[in-house]
Amino acid sequence: MDDLYPLMADMIRRGEHAAVATVIRAERSVPRHVGSKMLVRTDGSVVGSVGGGGLEARCIALAAEVIASGECRRVNFDLTGTDGVCGGEVEVFLEPLLSRTPLVIVGMGHVGRALLDLSRHLPFRFLAVDDRPEFLEDLGAVETLNVGAADLAGHFKPTARTVVVLCTRSHEHDADTLAAVFRSEQAAGVACAFLGLVGSRTKAVHIARRFAADPLTAARFADVSVPVGLDIGAETPHEIAVSILAEILACLRGGAAATAGRLRDRGDKT
């Protein structure tokens, strides 16, 4: 137990995911007492124990589901024969140990920098992307990626928790970058948790034509938030960043505001 908490803290700092299984109820004859913990990594390896045997094997299998969904689980185990032969009952609480939500900002112009500036105070882990190296300077302790849209798919592997906001400098860059993100999603077999595009409704219509011929990409584009951000009358880069972050948080946490007002047609401010 003394070693488990520092290990969990270190995994969070490194951006590694895992699940923690804790015995929260134990009745009659059981292998481990209440409070016993086991850390399960994404590769199925474990640290600690909640009892071994069939009980532990099932916890390891369930841990993979908990990591994937990001949702906690409470599971009862019958140790009278189904999950073991100790003769008691055990209840285990499984919780995900997830690092900060990955936030990928493509295009580090005025809006991109404002978005990064404000979101430093929120539980995100950042990747700043731009094909212009000078735009990736002076960003502080942030991971950067100096590639264009043509090479993005080869360097970007999304997860079901990844948030992506595109605020590039032109319609063409936006469309090319979106296509790269779609390819990355297809290669990873997952869709990003949130994908938004800064711009106007006119830009949305223009880019939609790019993907209209392919039913798969057309359907995916329909789920892109464009123009991204809640309708708060935002005009300046930092105001737009506030509206974007509000929508992202509403989406990630199931808030009703996610389906409320959209940004008004304010023209491109990328």
The tens digit of pLDDT for each residue in 142-171 reads: 899 999 988 998 888 888 889 999 999 888
How confident is the model at residue 153, as a pLDDT? 87
Exposure b/e, 3-24, CB count within 10 A at least 16 = b: eeeeebeebbeeeebbbbbbbe
Integer-rounded Cα radius of gyration of the chain = 22
- Residue 195: pLDDT band (50, 70, 90) is very high
How confident is the model at residue 83, as a pLDDT? 60
Composition of the chain by helix, strand, coil, percent to 5? 40, 20, 40
The whole-number average pLDDT for the span 263-269 is: 39
CB 24 within 8 A of CB 94: no
Q: Compute CA distances 134 → 78, 118, 149, whole Å.
A: 61, 21, 17
Domains and CATH numbers, the chain: 4-97 (no CATH), 101-259 (3.40.50.720)
How confident is the model at residue 270, as a pLDDT? 40
Average pLDDT over the chain, rounded to whole? 86
The whole-number average pLDDT for the span 24-29 is: 87
- Residue 1: pLDDT band (50, 70, 90) is low
CB 100 within 8 A of CB 124: yes
The whole-number average pLDDT for the span 18-38 is: 89
Decide if pLDDT at 268 tops 60: no
Query: What proportion of the chain, given as a percentage, has pLDDT over 70?
Result: 91
Decide if pLDDT at 261 tops 60: no
Say whether pTM exceeds 0.85. no
Of 93, 84, 77, nearest to 21 (Cα)? 93
